[in-house]
């Protein structure tokens, strides 16, 4: 992969950044677009908010919606997927004894959101325990279906998991859940750009997304997709005026788009991120970043005795891969304190990559974007190997 692509980012010299999956920085062209919108706001705030913002959001949401296979009327901007998930939690009716089903690979913040929501009304969360490593998509679907009960009111699944980097067969999961009358909410931050996301075809009821990961949109740019059948019952996480400031026709999206005075530049700059990847070519981006993740997988196996947790296929992992490190001892102080390997990778080597303890084992997650190359991966592998020898 050509290292000169790093010139499109404002990356700190001397840092090996292999954590785009957590906090993906934007290309310079996207940063400049965001800065230009902020400057427009500062020049004449009244005109911007009252007259220009509504049409600008409409135009931006039409671009984003088209890119992800839906209509703008089904999509509203939110700062991030967590914000969107809170909206869903505020909207789904739950009664005492009801169940919300998640999987044992779900993101910790999502588990916490639904744990608190269920506790408020006397409902409960339940877990579908998935095979690791999986052998087929059918295994995943069957494990989830087996955990559905007559009390299940909603299923939460990731499109691409944060901890394990696993790509879920979300369309098949949605189809199976719908056949049993269970609506589905997908946590989808990692899938944007990494996968081909067609929201209308997936068949979910809600899709929560963050634009700052693989899509490389600005921090604070995300969206919430809501199927037409669920839009009337959608409730915002933050209650404000609930309407546009111009005279345009109202919609369910107004509750989310105006949540008080704030800078909407991240939303308005999101189309610039889409254009950046389109110009590079999406399939080329996906192939190259997967190939680098695959290289990391193989190097960690050969030189750090790492173990894979998914099959070696782009169907199971894309631009990001998580590997088990059986020779690294779990930390008793985690998550209150970072694992010693995490600390050493930064303090000794200036490498940014998450070290995750999952299912009583230590894992390292490697995220690959266009500014990364094999030399970045080699530095990480050497750091992990050195730690396993010295611990």
Residues in Cβ contact with 238 at an 8 Å cutoff, skipping those fewer than 6 apart:
259, 260
The span from the CA of 100 to the CA of 148, in Å, is 9
Question: pLDDT tens digit string along 5-55?
Answer: 889 999 999 999 999 999 999 999 999 999 999 999 999 999 999 999 999
Query: What DSSP line would sit under 193-240, residue for residue?
Result: TTB---HHHH--SEEEEETTSTT---TT-EEEEE-GGGGGG---SS-S
Query: What DSSP line would sit under 9-60, residue for residue?
Result: S-PPTT-EE--TTTS-PPPHHHHHHHHHHHHHHHH-HHHIIIIIHHHHHHHH
How many separate helices (H) and strands (E) can be counted in the chain? 13, 13
Q: What is the DSSP letter of 115?
A: H
CA atoms in the 13 A half-sphere facing the CB of 176: 19
Query: What DSSP line would sit under 306-331, residue for residue?
Result: -EESS-SSTTT-SSEEEEE-TTSPPP
Q: What is the DSSP letter of 367?
A: E
Residue 188 near residue 81, CB atoms below 8 Å:
yes
Residue 217 near residue 270, CB atoms below 8 Å:
yes
| Beta carbons within 10 angstroms of residue 238's beta carbon | 14
What does the pLDDT read at residue 2? 40
SS3 92: coil
Residue 19 near residue 367, CB atoms below 8 Å:
yes
Question: CA nearest 185: which of 202, 206, 208?
Answer: 206
What does the pLDDT read at residue 268? 98
What does the pLDDT read at residue 1? 38
Cα 254 to Cα 8, 48, 144, 200, 334: the distances in Å are: 35, 16, 35, 21, 41
Stretches where the chain sits below pLDDT 50 are 1-2
Strand-pair partners of 195? 192
CA atoms in the 13 A half-sphere facing the CB of 70: 27
| Beta carbons within 10 angstroms of residue 114's beta carbon | 24
Cα 207 to Cα 109, 200, 275, 317, 388: the distances in Å are: 16, 10, 22, 20, 40
């Amino acid at each position: 992969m050509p290292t000169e692509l790093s010139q499109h980012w404002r990356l700190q010299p001397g840092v090996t950044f292999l954590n785009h999956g957590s906090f993906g920085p934007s290309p310079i062209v996207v940063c400049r677009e965001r800065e230009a919108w902020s400057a427009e706001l500062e020049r004449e705030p009244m005109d911007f908010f009252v007259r220009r913002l509504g049409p600008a959001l409409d135009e931006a949401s039409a671009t984003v919606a088209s890119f992800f296979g839906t209509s703008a009327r089904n999509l509203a901007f939110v700062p991030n997927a967590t914000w969107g998930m809170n909206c869903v939690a505020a909207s789904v009716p739950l009664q005492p004894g009801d169940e919300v089903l998640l999987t044992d690979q779900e993101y910790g913040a999502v588990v916490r959101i639904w744990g608190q929501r269920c506790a408020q009304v006397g409902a409960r969360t339940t877990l579908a325990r998935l095979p690791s490593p999986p052998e087929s998509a059918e295994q995943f679907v069957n494990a989830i279906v087996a955990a559905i009960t007559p009390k299940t009111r909603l299923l939460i699944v990731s499109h691409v998991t944060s901890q394990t980097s696993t790509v879920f067969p979300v369309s098949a999961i949605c189809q199976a859940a719908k056949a049993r009358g269970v609506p589905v909410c997908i946590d989808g931050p990692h899938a944007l750009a990494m996968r081909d996301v067609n929201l209308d075809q997936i068949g979910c009821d809600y899709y929560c997304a963050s634009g700052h990961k693989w899509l490389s949109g600005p921090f604070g740019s995300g969206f919430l997709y809501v199927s037409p059948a669920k839009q009337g019952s959608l409730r915002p996480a933050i209650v404000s005026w609930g309407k546009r400031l111009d005279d345009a026709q109202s919609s369910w999206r107004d509750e989310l788009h105006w949540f008080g005075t704030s800078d909407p530049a991240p939303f308005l700059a999101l189309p610039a991120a889409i254009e950046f990847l389109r110009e590079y070519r999406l399939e080329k981006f996906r192939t190259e970043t997967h190939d680098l993740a695959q290289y990391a997988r193989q190097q960690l196996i050969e030189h750090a005795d790492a173990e894979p947790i998914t099959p070696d296929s782009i169907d199971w992992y894309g631009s990001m891969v998580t590997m088990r490190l059986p020779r690294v001892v779990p930390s008793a102080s985690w998550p209150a304190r970072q694992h010693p390997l995490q600390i050493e990778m930064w303090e000794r080597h200036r490498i940014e990559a998450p070290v995750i303890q999952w299912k009583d084992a230590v894992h390292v997650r490697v995220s690959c974007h266009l500014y990364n190359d094999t030399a970045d991966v080699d530095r990480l592998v050497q750091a992990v190997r050195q730690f396993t020898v010295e611990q």
